[in-house]
Structure 1
Amino acid sequence: MQRGTWSTDPQLIHGPMVVRAAALIAAGVPGRTISRRCAPGGPWQRLMPGIVLLHSGEATDEQRLGAALLHGRENATLTGLWALRRHGLERLPPPQDVHILVPAERRVTSTGFVHVERTRHLPRPHLRGDLPVAPVPRAVIDAARRRTDEDEIQTMMAEAVQRRFCTTDLLARELDQAGRTGTALPRKALVPLLAGARSVAEADAWHLWRRSGLPPGHWNVPIFDANGIYIATPDFWCDEIAFAWEIDSYRHHASLEDHRATVARNARYVAAGIVVLQTLPSRLRTEPELVLGELRAAFRTARDRPRPNVKRAA
């Protein structure tokens, strides 16, 4: 290969300016040239063992991701938090390292900023940009298994379901395949989602309702009046007595448009004869006993009046 042409050969580079040292040598770049250029003050640097960054500045996120996949070699797949970022999820903790999956028989170990996981269940990757990334259900569970904060796990899983990146059944299937290591918290977080909760606050509400001793109900189901006209989709709905529970946060009502929508929703509840209780998410944790008392009182009010002619979606 003519001197200099290797630096633009797409077969040698994964991502911008990231290349295997072995590929450079195979392309005709002498090992001593690589060593000299990667020496302190040189124009290149060794980003990790066997991986060269063809400039001396700080590596970008894209370059680190490319280097991680080069380290994992053929069929390496990005997973965890970085994969979820590539899919477009937003409510994520900052990733601490780059998590990749490689075939179980491959002898590649974690090093530097790269966490390598060998697996017998290597997923079929999706291409996001030019990077192979694990499907959302696998990436969520891989990320959740390495977290210790229950709220972070709940938020990741809830966003994936709420924004329709995946279903709770797919998350449950991935958890079953993952075995036991690191799955206790994700399994706990999945339970309220399987029941229909779609956020950390709704999961808190689910746990509190379970403590209340009140009859079970439905989460996030549309409600209609006798003429089939849409009323609302309450966070929780007890169909037996037409009782709605809304977990309304300050954040959700930060804009005038959101506030107007909530006022209009509450007006539809009143017009339809539905008893509704509104609760701030923070109170579910700071004042759970008071909220339980309010729930039971609102439930009794709904139970003791004639049930209005409303129905939930089938």
Structure 2
Amino acid sequence: MKTNLDLEPCLRQHSSHGVIRVVKLDELGVHSRTTYRRCQPGGPWTYLLPGIVLLSNSRPTARQRIEAALLHARGAGLLTGFEAARRFGLRNVPTGNEVHLLVPADCQFRSPGFVLIERTTHVPQRRDVGGVPTAPPARAILDGVRRLRDRDAVTALLIEARQSGLCSLAELSAELQTGSRRGTALPRAVLKSLADDLRSVAEAHAGKLWRRAGLPPPSRNPVLLHADGRYIATPDLWWDEVALAWEIDSFEHHFRRHDYAATLERNARYAGAGVILVQTVPSRLKRAPDAVINDLRAAYDIARTRPRPPLQTRRPPLV
């Protein structure tokens, strides 16, 4: 007769990443009393969800939590929200262990433990991401941000989704129109700002400051060229009437060795083209907003007192 130890390899073969149903264990010869005993504190197994066991006493991985949630939904669930966004490769995702699943509206599953079950009449076409049934990127991302109240967090994730090529503004906007309207006010406002080619959370804060400074509206991220068509730069914000550029240069993205050299070369091109440049690190936008406003006003006053250099701009293509 096989012992429980002898059964371990067989049990793992019938599990999903070490996650298995209690009823399946019973079918394989492990009585529920034995399962209960092995899941006690100090035992070799762990109860993850009602009727679902991890064949280990270690902390479950993200994939094991996902497998447990899918078993709970009995094959009817699609992974969505932030865990799906991580599996699509996004980094600006809020931390947490929640596994968010979409299920058809007629399903009656509850949301136990770390699982959030959302019933929907608009079940999207599934994507297979590393063996996990997953909602399409736009749906998954918006299902996550609908539950956020932090504008910066929403902005950072939507910008990353767009810039990574994972989904376009059009796809995100279309999903907002067809999906649930609950919690969509903030994502709608952020998407409206992204239509102006906003590229970072810092640029959003910068926009508030130039308004307070009383300056004319700048353009965002135009391609700046010499009169003969040679490339100069793509400033974060640009006042074309006076040839004033404002760059929001973070230490993370501009002061590594390679990026620092590129920033110096960019600044030299600005100087050679006669452009007045204001550089601000993102932390200063919040830490010293009045000082930043004074910098902008002073630079604008200087820029408008000298003849505008012969430059041209063109808009980059929107994605």
TM-score interval, smaller chain: 0.7 to 0.9
1:122 corresponds to 2:138: no
Instruction: Answer yes or no: is the 8 Å Cα contact 1:197–1:206 preserved in 2.
Output: no
Paired residue secondary structure (2:278): strand
Deviations 1:98-149 (A, max 9, x none): 1111111111111011011111222223222111222222222121122233
Partner of 1:210: 211
SS of residue in 2 equivalent to 1:195: coil
**Structure 1 gaps, min length 5:** none
| 2:60 match | 59
Relative to 1, partners in 2 of residues 1:300 and 1:178: Cα closer, same or farther, differing over 3 Å?
A: farther
Task: Tell me how far apart the structure 1 counterparts of residues 180 and 129 of structure 2 sit (CA, whole Å).
Answer: 28
SS in structure 1 of the partner of residue 31 of structure 2: helix
Matches within 5 A, 1:141-156: 141-156=142-157
**Contact map agreement 2:22 2:35 (CA 8 A) in 1:** no
In structure 2, the residue matched to 1:198 is 199
Q: Is the 8 A contact 1:247 1:281 kept in 2?
A: yes
Aligned partners of 2:98, 2:265: CA distance in 1, in Å? 46
SS in 1 for 2:32: helix
Distance change >3 Å, CA 66–CA 263, structure 1 → 2: same
1:6, 1:24 within 8 Å by CA — same for their partners in 2?
no
Q: Indicate conservation of the 8 Å contact 1:161/1:198, yes or no.
A: no
**Residue aligning to 2:308:** 307
What is the percent sequence identity of the aligned residues?
A: 45
Which residue number corresponds to residue 278 of structure 2?
Answer: 277
Q: How does 1:164-183 map to 2 (within 5 A)?
A: 164-183=165-184
Q: C-alpha displacement at 1:56, in angstroms?
A: 4.0
SS of the residue corresponding to residue 268 of structure 1 reads: helix
- Shift in CA distance, 138/56, structure 1 to aligned 2, threshold 3 Å: same
User: Which of these residues, 7, 13, 28, is aligned with residue 11 of structure 2?
Assistant: 7
Letter in 1 for 2:11: S
Specify the alignment match of 2:35 in structure 1: 37
Q: Secondary structure at the match of 1:209?
A: helix
d(CA) in 2 for partners of 1:120 and 1:161?
27
1:62-84 per-residue CA deviation (whole Å, 9 max, x = no partner) reads: 11111111112234111111111
Question: Are positions 1:297 and 2:298 aligned together?
Answer: yes
TM-score under structure 2 length normalisation: 0.86
State the Cα RMSD in Å.
2.6
1:263 and 1:283, CA in 2 relative to 1: closer, same or farther beyond 3 A? same
Partner of 1:236: 237
Q: Which amino acid aligns with 1:29?
A: L
Question: Does the aligned pair in 2 maintain the 1:196–1:218 contact within 8 Å?
Answer: no
Q: Contact conserved, 1:38 with 1:45, CA < 8 A, in 2?
A: no
Aligned-pair distance for 1:279?
Answer: 1.5
Letter in 2 for 1:129: G
Unaligned runs of at least 5 residues, structure 2: 1-5
The question of whether the paired residues in 2 share the 8 Å contact of 1:110 and 1:116 is answered with yes
